[in-house]
Amino acid sequence: MNRHPDRDQIRIESVLSALGSPVRLAVVRVLDAGGEQNCTSVLGLLGITAKSTMTHHWRVLRESGVIWQHPSGRENLLSLRREDLDARYPGLLDTILAGAVADEALATASGSATAGALASSSG
Amino acid sequence: MNRHPDRDQIRIESVLSALGSPVRLAVVRVLDAGGEQNCTSVLGLLGITAKSTMTHHWRVLRESGVIWQHPSGRENLLSLRREDLDARYPGLLDTILAGAVADEALATASGSATAGALASSSG
DNA sequence: CGAACTGTACGCAATACTTCGAACATTCGT
DNA sequence: ACGAATGTTCGAAGTATTGCGTACAGTTCG
């Protein structure tokens, strides 16, 4: 049921497409900062209210090879596939993550309300 | 008329979203390998037949800050915004480009017909 | 077993993306 | 001015994405 792609099945187009969404990029940032978490935890840090909406995004991130998703008890733990992504595309994840931070610095300069959510998760 | 974003206006989400499309990623690879070219040249290397379709993609790439597009005579020359992208997201472009090559190596192992188009442009 | 908790599956509506053809604007060569 | 070449703009069709609510499945605790 998990449908994780093999490491060699991961494609850059799918990864970029998955991370091209503000919601999913935010998810990745949360996972990078906070490590393995359950769906509700990540959901709480975003502006999405419906769980079914996020189930869709987990799916996109999972099937593109960006995240692991493995059940633990009644929870479904999410984590970054760092090892695989770094192996296939060295530096990509860090560059994108750093880019998101850089973007935020410019966005806050213009005045953005949603920018604070991720900034607070790093402290 | 060209609607190029300023360097500080570029956002990683837009860049990733733009490059998440197979067609546009291929365009970027062609521009990286072949330098400044006109639309028809790039169009010829892809499987798209309609010029109006590519006009849409130029627009996406241009407005996301990935390419420059400047008229020269009756042509419209396309080129990568390497300096700006490298300044905003150091290493991102090279990593993605390298990732596309790496993907192709795995894709050709499985047998892909479209893979050859880009491989030949790097020689 | 039954209740609460966590997350998925399905269907639906709104929106965006992708692609194309036809018509138009601009430039170059004569 | 005329014709060829290069792209853009517009309108339209097909497809994909996004987000939500409801219903459902599995786990934990009493």
Whether residue B92 and residue A90 make contact (CB cut-off 8 A), yes or no, is: no
Q: Could you tell me the residue ranges of all domains in chain B?
A: 7-108
Whether residue B25 and residue A12 make contact (CB cut-off 8 A), yes or no, is: yes
Instruction: Over range A76-83, report the average pLDDT.
Output: 97
B7-108: CATH topology:
Arc Repressor Mutant, subunit A (1.10.10)
Nearest chain B Cα distance for residue A30, angstroms: 16
How many Å apart are CA B85 and CA B67, to the nearest integer?
9
Instruction: Over range B61-73, report the average pLDDT.
Output: 96
For residue A28, which residues of chain B lie inside 8 Å, CB to CB? Answer: none
Write out pLDDT tens, residues B16-41: 999 999 999 999 999 999 999 999 99
What mean pLDDT value characterizes chain B? 89
How many Å apart are CA B55 and CA B48, to the nearest integer?
11
Contacts of B119 (CB under 8 A, 6+ apart): B104, B108
- B37-38 and B75-80: which strand pairing? antiparallel
Q: In what order do the strands lie in the sheet with A75-80?
A: A37-38, A75-80, A67-72
What mean pLDDT value characterizes chain A? 88
A54 CB less than 7 Å from any atom of strand C: yes
**B12 vs B107, more confident:** B12
Examine the pLDDT at B119 and tell me if it is beyond 80: no
